[in-house]
Chain A
Amino acid sequence: MYAYSDFDRDFLRARVDEFRGQVERRLDGSLSEDEFKPLRLMNGLYLQLHAYMLRVAIPYGTLRSAQMRKLAEISQRWDRGYGHFTTRQNIQFNWPRLTDVPDMLDALAEVGMHAIQTSGNCIRNVTADHFAGAAAGEVEDPRLTAELIRQWSTDHPEFAYLPRKFKVAVTASDQDRAVIKLHDIGLRLRERDGEIGYQVVIGGGLGRTPFIGKEVRDWLPKRDLLAYLEAILRVYNLGGRRDNKFKARIKILVHETGLEELRAKIEAEFASGRRLLPDVSPEITAQIAQGFAPPAFRDDPVVPFSPGPAFRSFLDTNLHPHKRADHVSVTVSTKPIGGTPGDVTADQMHVLADLAEQFGYDELRISHEQNVILPHIHRNDLGAVYDALAQAGLATANIGLVSDIIACPGLDYCALATARSIPIAQQISTLFGDLDAQADIGPLKIKISGCINACGHHHVGHIGILGLDRAGVENYQLTLGGDGTETATLGARTGPGFAYDEIVPAVGRLIEAYLDLREDRSEPFLQTYRRVGIEPFKAVLYGERDAKAA
């Protein structure tokens, strides 16, 4: 975990004071909305359909108990008693009053949190594998890298006004849980001849024009990381299309320039040795490493137990192997049947904070799949953790299943939305409410976005749903076969979209078809899709004849 110095604390206080003054000047009329808007956005404050929204950065999705408690307190005191965890491992408060926001930022600063760079054309919150530091098979904790990038990119003077927003994700496992190939820069730690370095992928992205990232370096020594990132960002900053917002991301630069030519530019810039910031000192590296030292894991021998059926399902679904055999990572679903993906109430946040403190070495994580993770739980504590989660309505045994849906806020909140996404997620979840039936369907990732910006990652859903406005009516496009992992693939569009009341039955038909088509229970949806292709699915969506026309 990062630790703030006096400098960091002073900096944050000064930023909050500055924003407080800006709010006052907005209220007394000395600042117009045109003048104020960029200032509020620099502090993570958006104006949405029904209210302001404050987006708070959770660096690489890691939280301590005190921070989770503070989020709960903020939601109770200044919002409506809940928060929304996002696909960028952040939290959003959906109902703040403008006049309360400086106080909310002050409260966040008390626990070393802020909303800086959660908006605007800058380097955003660096994301990482949510099992970082806990998962078996990691080269090293990817948060060491993410934290280094966080420190380097926060308020970076050269990259504060890029052509467009810029997102970096880091993983250190062969299994990519951080969606690195769909980021502007994706980093994968790897080991070669006893040395640790990076695979560097650039130009991935979702949105209007999705691209899978391309490898620009298969090996980058660790010591060169910031110099190389600076070279990429500098080439992008100068070459990115500022003339057209829709073509301004680095993915378009990679696409239009071609990987080889862009790589040559990046390498030339890197070789020039021009650096705005000095190299990282060994002291900083050591300080970061100290912040992420593994906790003092308990060595108690594991005591066998016999769980009841509900607990058994939870154990089957919500656990992930830990690097230590006597521990596991527990994923807490924020998606009860019929619930809103990513929403957690203040009371639930308190429960999670208490559990992390009592059983989880004070650590919590937020996943890009909008769930909460207790990364280090001793196996002997699973019963107590499960009981507390069940009491708080947090023990839904659906991780990786059909109701573990990613859904962006959509038209229930978002000013950019062209359709609702949350009610679609709720209805799909309710349709497949029975957890045994969900377990029978097996691993299936449904991802829903309420507009082309694709915050709900629909392009990489096994089933992706995109809500659009077609001549004043909500219409939902389906994509199939998307994959956000190390085998990243963009989903293929099935054909014409579906009306609001047709889309959930259409998803139902897709799943029925999969159950008919799969060889047996061991063949998950994605595998069946890859084996049989899109046609049988189109047939159940549109009928045999329309499928050909589609």
Chain B
Amino acid sequence: MARAIPAQVVSANHLIEGDAIWFTGTGWCRSIAKAQVAETPEDAQVLLAQAQSGAEAARAVSLYLAEVAITPNGPRPTHFREIYRVRSHKTHPQLHEVS
């Protein structure tokens, strides 16, 4: 059986803060739940092109497509690397109060 083609979102790092951000279709957000999902490889390429050229493209660095699963709470990352990017940082919880 052919492997199901995973859905994808566009992820990047914020130009100034450097933290993980996701493309909403019109801009960027810090919650993957609000990311725009592309369900086919073709749509994913279109979405990536939009993210690269959109009005807010200048805020984003190192853009790439990341695989997600679609859940009732929105897209969730499937690869552990992306899961750690989504989670808050763990090694010094007391020092990581993000403003």
Q: A interface vs B, CB < 8 Å?
A: 26-27, 29, 33, 47-52, 80-82, 96-99, 340, 343, 345, 411-412, 417-418, 420, 422-423, 469, 472-474
- Which of the residues A29, A345, A417 comes within 8 Å of B58, measured between beta carbons? A29
A33 in contact with B62 given A51-B17, A82-B92, A82-B95 (CB within 8 Å)? yes
**In the assembled complex, which residues on chain A have CB atoms less than 8 Å from the CB atom of B53?**
none
A51 x B19 contact (CB < 8 A)? yes
**In the assembled complex, which residues on chain B have CB atoms less than 8 Å from the CB atom of A27?**
15-16
A422 x B17 contact (CB < 8 A)? no
B84 x A49 contact (CB < 8 A)? yes
- Bound complex: CA A422 to CA B93 (Å): 14
B81 at the interface (CB under 8 A from A): yes
Known A49-B20, A422-B91; further 14 A-B contacts with Cβ < 8 A: A27-B15, A33-B61, A47-B62, A49-B85, A50-B18, A52-B18, A80-B95, A82-B92, A97-B16, A98-B17, A99-B16, A411-B81, A417-B81, A472-B78
**In the assembled complex, which residues on chain B have CB atoms less than 8 Å from the CB atom of A420?**
84
26 CB-based A-B contacts, threshold 8 Å: A26-B15, A27-B15, A47-B13, A47-B61, A50-B18, A51-B18, A80-B92, A80-B96, A97-B16, A97-B17, A97-B18, A98-B15, A98-B18, A343-B92, A345-B95, A411-B80, A411-B81, A412-B91, A417-B81, A420-B84, A422-B91, A423-B90, A423-B91, A469-B81, A472-B80, A473-B80
- Bound complex: CA A80 to CA B79 (Å): 28
A50 in contact with B16 given A80-B95, A81-B95 (CB within 8 Å)? no
- Bound complex: CA A29 to CA B70 (Å): 35
- Bound complex: CA A47 to CA B62 (Å): 9
- Bound complex: CA A51 to CA B17 (Å): 6
Q: B interface vs A, CB < 8 Å?
A: 13, 15-20, 58, 61-62, 78-81, 84-85, 89-92, 95-96
- Bound complex: CA A469 to CA B96 (Å): 27
**In the assembled complex, which residues on chain A have CB atoms less than 8 Å from the CB atom of B61?**
33, 47
A472 in contact with B16 given A81-B95, A343-B92, A423-B90 (CB within 8 Å)? no
A340 in contact with B84 given A49-B20, A51-B17 (CB within 8 Å)? no
For the complex of A and B, the 9 pairs showing the least CB-CB separation, nearest first, are A52-B18, A51-B18, A80-B95, A340-B91, A98-B16, A412-B91, A33-B61, A422-B91, A81-B95
**In the assembled complex, which residues on chain A have CB atoms less than 8 Å from the CB atom of B78?**
472
- Which of the residues A47, A50, A81 comes within 8 Å of B85, measured between beta carbons? A50
- Bound complex: CA A33 to CA B62 (Å): 8
- Bound complex: CA A80 to CA B61 (Å): 22
Shortest CB distance A502–B (Å): 15
- Bound complex: CA A469 to CA B78 (Å): 13
Shortest CB distance B69–A (Å): 12
**In the assembled complex, which residues on chain B have CB atoms less than 8 Å from the CB atom of A50?**
18-20, 85, 89
- Which of the residues B17, B18, B62, B90 comes within 8 Å of A412, measured between beta carbons? B90
**In the assembled complex, which residues on chain B have CB atoms less than 8 Å from the CB atom of A51?**
17-19
**In the assembled complex, which residues on chain A have CB atoms less than 8 Å from the CB atom of B89?**
50, 412
**In the assembled complex, which residues on chain A have CB atoms less than 8 Å from the CB atom of B81?**
49, 411, 417-418, 469
- Bound complex: CA A412 to CA B97 (Å): 16
- Bound complex: CA A50 to CA B79 (Å): 16
B90 x A48 contact (CB < 8 A)? no
Most chain B beta-carbon contacts within 10 A, residue among A27, A50, A423: A50
A472 x B79 contact (CB < 8 A)? yes
Shortest CB distance A48–B (Å): 7
- Bound complex: CA A82 to CA B16 (Å): 20
**In the assembled complex, which residues on chain B have CB atoms less than 8 Å from the CB atom of A97?**
16-18
**In the assembled complex, which residues on chain A have CB atoms less than 8 Å from the CB atom of B91?**
340, 343, 412, 422-423
Closest chain B residue to A417, Cβ basis = B81
- Bound complex: CA A423 to CA B91 (Å): 8
Closest chain B residue to A84, Cβ basis = B91
**In the assembled complex, which residues on chain B have CB atoms less than 8 Å from the CB atom of A52?**
18
Shortest CB distance A404–B (Å): 18
Shortest CB distance A346–B (Å): 10
- Bound complex: CA A33 to CA B60 (Å): 9
**In the assembled complex, which residues on chain A have CB atoms less than 8 Å from the CB atom of B16?**
27, 97-99
